[in-house]
Structure 1
Amino acid sequence: MKVLGICIFLIMIWLILDFSLGRKQHLSRVSKRETPFLHSNFEIFTNGKELIHDYFNSLRQAKKQIHVLFYIVKNDAISKEFLTILKEKALEGIEVRLLLDRLGCLKVKQAVVKELRQAGVQVAFSAPVKLPFLFYSAQVRNHRKISVIDENIGYLGGFNIGKEYIDAGPPKLRPWRDYHVKISGEGVNELQKEFLLDWQHATSEDVFLSWPGPVGMAVNWEAAAELTFPLGCRMGASRHQFIATEANQLEKQFIELIRMAEKEIIIGTPYFIPSREILDELLAALKRGVRLLVVVPYYADHPLVQEASYRFFRRLLREGAVVYQYKNGFYHAKTFVVDDKVCDVGTANFDKRSLYLNKEINCYIYDSVFITRLKAVLEKDIQDSERLSLETLEKPNLLRTVKEATAYCLSYFL
């Protein structure tokens, strides 16, 4: 028993040192990446079947180039269809690059990767688990979902590739509700650039031949920002920008958005686990008269994530916030709306993983017409939700209390 206790103690010390030193190294290497203001057209999808139908059609119609990054691709029927399309396009002579998160796509077998490469698909894996910080590197995932087709169509949002995203998963997660945008216009140039930056980081391939310095050097973000591609994309109607984040960058971005608010903040997220600084900013916004509305799932897809949110909801509800739990399936959307000034549709959840660990990319749209469209979507989701009351959260419940305590200790990793 004594030996077991010593082993557990040593493992805990290793985990703490691994995580803290890995994080220190990560913070020392990141730099902020945000695009200039752009103008594009946006189509929003909230249903996985509709998105996949449109997306697969765009892939099949590709004439020149397909660049794809996903956090999750599985080994089910819809994933096999997706990978088959990529193989077929590569066999036609089209350039196909497929970038997959190393852990999120564990179900993509090596035999499948071999088949893809034999067909001509360039396959790479992002965010591998590696020494010397095994535990920390396992936590930092590339959570981005980017597709660029023929250099003039882009896709970005919360959907991955798997049967649950097209309403074929567990019954309690059906239908799957998410937000994903299809982009045309000059923003596609910058989305392409973000993909290629991630590709270069994963492969050390010098995809930007005009950059100074040998392959493998640290990315010259200033030089990258000056690069343009001859894509022939015309300007669209909506002013926007992309901001790619990792480490602690997203927290600062969300704080800036909260401080902008004068009338209303709407947050849609599957996981509500904010940092202390963000919680303080939300409370300050409520005290200055800003209306705060949060939409989260009624049914959880992971253990403890729901209980992790309750301690924050109690404080916000006491100050007048309104929280809705979506009941018509599973709510996986990621959005942040401030007044009629700006809305965010992207890949980042409102949790500590996205705030402090994951690689994310969000699209901030400064267009009242699009914001009105998004608010109509949110209003529909609110109609399919149940309002969470403070009384419900304050009723004595021993099991929930134990879960909340456990979730608090593990909140960084949920």
Structure 2
Amino acid sequence: MKIFIVLALIFLLLILWLSFDFSFGRKRQIKGLKPLNSPLRESHMDMFTKGPELFEEYFSELQKAKHHIHIQFYIVKDDKISQKFFSILKAKAVEGIEVRLLLDRMGSFPIKKKLRNELKSHGIEFSFSNKIKLPFLFYSLQARNHRKVTVIDGKVGYVGGFNIGKEYVNQDKKLNPWRDYHLKITGEGVADLQREFLSDWAYELGNDLLANMDYFPLLAKGKVQHKLVPSKGAYLEETFSALIHQAKSSIFIGTPYFIPSPQLVNDLSKAMNRGVTLTILVPKITDHLLVKEASYPYLRKLLKNGAHVYEFLNGFYHAKTMIIDDEICDIGTANFDRRSLFINYEMNCYIFDHSFIKEVLDVIQLDLQNSMPLTLEALNKPDPQRTVKEWIARWFVPLL
């Protein structure tokens, strides 16, 4: 009996410590953050949905670099495609090109010290972002830099859902093919990607290059009007909420993890009550434990209110997008989940060009054709295993 009491006390103290750590760690992260009024830009854009096509283009652009390469990813693996990626960066650094590589400490944990030293020995400036540190160990473990941003010579930029690893080029048996949306940007918007990368770089290394105009060449305007909106664990909920409130006829949400805040669920329900059609696309298969089960309570509520929910069947759907009235299109790194809303560093691109949005809608229509409706009847069908997983998932929602 005494042992049970001691274990219960230890468990209670652990829960209290984790709650304290998470609460105060978050307060410290968002202290001083303010909503960013991002400027409207005009750039040229291309969207990639298939990893092999993206990385053929991406690696080619890296090899063309003349002055600098700035890259940050959430995940870079140590596998065949990653080695090709590193080989290109090492070769460019040896040529005398400035190469800076910023990888999330947890997402890119396969990058061991030996490989990091090898990269540095070739002249690559390397750092992990969002390192685990005192005093809030648990929160710093959760707060990830989820951005996937590349800037080449200050003129070519990339942002979207793809990371570097075999699954992203359809070499994973379970998650094959991988479906994602990634943007290539040339024109004014690249300066905003550059500015945010250099801000993250300065924060991690104390090396502030933002005033160096070598990284900010003059850029021509393109045809696609847009704005790039970074977030650091704050104000993304407000941004999404404002977009939903604008909707008059339709909202489309594509996400691998649908775990919205109560505010956003309420916003979506109100939108449907005023006649807006809501369509949600999520994957049938999952790459993380409990994320599907965590989404079901929210999907049930929205299905009851008339939402249309589809599960993607042709591989793994990892795209992050929201389209309002076919007039505003969000493509970026943020999922429609609590982690992206309230913890992670993200980068989203809001696009206002009708012709480009039409191209995105054509892609989405194809993805919906490769999907199956998820019905309220199916979610309410008795399933003890699913019920247990949903109950467990509820305890971890803030971290999913």
- Category of TM-score, reference length = shorter chain: over 0.9
Answer yes or no: is 1:326 the counterpart of 2:312.
yes
- Residue 31 of structure 1 deviates from its aligned partner by 2.5
2:78 alignment partner, one of 68, 75, 82: 75
Q: Residues 199 and 208 of structure 2 are in contact (CA less than 8 Å); yes or no, is this contact kept in structure 1?
A: no
1:271 alignment partner, one of 240, 253, 257: 257
* Equivalence for 1:201: 203
Task: Give distance in 1, aligned partners of 2:72 and 2:37.
Answer: 18
Q: Residues 264 and 292 of structure 1 are in contact (CA less than 8 Å); yes or no, is this contact kept in structure 2?
A: yes
- Residue 150 of structure 1 deviates from its aligned partner by 1.6
List per-residue Cα deviations over 1:159-183 (Å, max 9, x = no partner).
Answer: 00000000011x2310000000100
* Equivalence for 1:100: 103
2:239 alignment partner, one of 217, 240, 253: 253
Partner SS for 1:325 = strand
List per-residue Cα deviations over 1:253-295 (Å, max 9, x = no partner).
Answer: 1000100100000000000000000000000000000000000
Q: Which runs of 4+ in 1 moved over 3 A?
A: 227-230
- Residue 5 of structure 1 deviates from its aligned partner by 2.0
Answer yes or no: is 1:49 the counterpart of 2:35.
no
Task: Give distance in 1, aligned partners of 2:344 and 2:189.
Answer: 23
Q: Residues 189 and 228 of structure 1 are in contact (CA less than 8 Å); yes or no, is this contact kept in structure 2?
A: no
Partner SS for 1:68 = strand
Using a 3 Å threshold, how does the CA distance of structure 1 residues 97 and 229 change in structure 2: closer, same or farther?
closer
1:364 alignment partner, one of 313, 338, 350: 350
- Residue 229 of structure 1 deviates from its aligned partner by 5.8
Where do 1:33-44 residues align within 5 Å?
33-44=36-47
- Residue 34 of structure 1 deviates from its aligned partner by 4.3
Using a 3 Å threshold, how does the CA distance of structure 1 residues 272 and 285 change in structure 2: closer, same or farther?
same
- Residue 228 of structure 1 deviates from its aligned partner by 10
- What amino acid sits opposite 2:227 in the alignment? Q
List per-residue Cα deviations over 1:45-87 (Å, max 9, x = no partner).
Answer: 0000100110001111111110000000011111111111111
- Output the TM-score relative to the length of structure 1: 0.94
* Equivalence for 1:22: 25
Answer yes or no: is 1:120 the counterpart of 2:123.
yes
* Equivalence for 2:8: 5
Q: Residues 273 and 350 of structure 1 are in contact (CA less than 8 Å); yes or no, is this contact kept in structure 2?
A: yes
* Equivalence for 1:110: 113
Partner SS for 1:173 = coil
Answer yes or no: is 1:338 the counterpart of 2:302.
no
- Output the TM-score relative to the length of structure 2: 0.97
Partner SS for 1:29 = coil
Structure 1 gaps of 5+ residues are 211-226
- Residue 112 of structure 1 deviates from its aligned partner by 0.8
Where do 1:206-285 residues align within 5 Å?
206-209=208-211, 230-285=216-271
1:290 alignment partner, one of 226, 251, 276: 276
Using a 3 Å threshold, how does the CA distance of structure 1 residues 229 and 151 change in structure 2: closer, same or farther?
closer
List per-residue Cα deviations over 1:377-404 (Å, max 9, x = no partner).
Answer: 0000000000001110111111111111
List per-residue Cα deviations over 1:180-237 (Å, max 9, x = no partner).
Answer: 0100111111111111111111111121347xxxxxxxxxxxxxxxx89641321000
Structure 2 gaps of 5+ residues are none
Q: Residues 49 and 179 of structure 2 are in contact (CA less than 8 Å); yes or no, is this contact kept in structure 1?
A: yes
Task: Give distance in 2, aligned partners of 1:131 and 1:150.
Answer: 36
Partner SS for 2:233 = coil
- Mean CA deviation greater in 333-342 or 31-40: 31-40
* Equivalence for 1:222: none
Using a 3 Å threshold, how does the CA distance of structure 1 residues 154 and 209 change in structure 2: closer, same or farther?
closer
Identity level (%): 49
Q: Residues 59 and 149 of structure 1 are in contact (CA less than 8 Å); yes or no, is this contact kept in structure 2?
A: yes
Task: Give distance in 1, aligned partners of 2:202 and 2:101.
Answer: 12
Task: Give distance in 2, aligned partners of 1:23 and 1:232.
Answer: 38
Q: Residues 198 and 208 of structure 2 are in contact (CA less than 8 Å); yes or no, is this contact kept in structure 1?
A: no
Q: Residues 255 and 319 of structure 2 are in contact (CA less than 8 Å); yes or no, is this contact kept in structure 1?
A: yes
Q: Residues 33 and 234 of structure 2 are in contact (CA less than 8 Å); yes or no, is this contact kept in structure 1?
A: no
**Count of matched residue positions in the alignment of Structure 1 and Structure 2:** 397
- Mean CA deviation greater in 114-123 or 273-282: 114-123
Task: Give distance in 2, aligned partners of 1:148 and 1:22.
Answer: 31
Task: Give distance in 1, aligned partners of 2:236 and 2:332.
Answer: 12
Partner SS for 2:126 = strand
1:300 alignment partner, one of 276, 286, 300: 286
Using a 3 Å threshold, how does the CA distance of structure 1 residues 368 and 228 change in structure 2: closer, same or farther?
farther
Where do 1:181-196 residues align within 5 Å?
181-196=183-198
List per-residue Cα deviations over 1:88-117 (Å, max 9, x = no partner).
Answer: 100000011101111111101111111111
List per-residue Cα deviations over 1:318-346 (Å, max 9, x = no partner).
Answer: 11100000000000000000012210010
* Equivalence for 1:157: 160
Answer yes or no: is 1:64 the counterpart of 2:67.
yes
CA RMSD of the aligned region, Å? Answer: 1.2
Where do 1:119-138 residues align within 5 Å?
119-138=122-141
* Equivalence for 1:381: 367
Task: Give distance in 2, aligned partners of 1:56 and 1:229.
Answer: 20
Using a 3 Å threshold, how does the CA distance of structure 1 residues 229 and 110 change in structure 2: closer, same or farther?
closer
* Equivalence for 1:314: 300
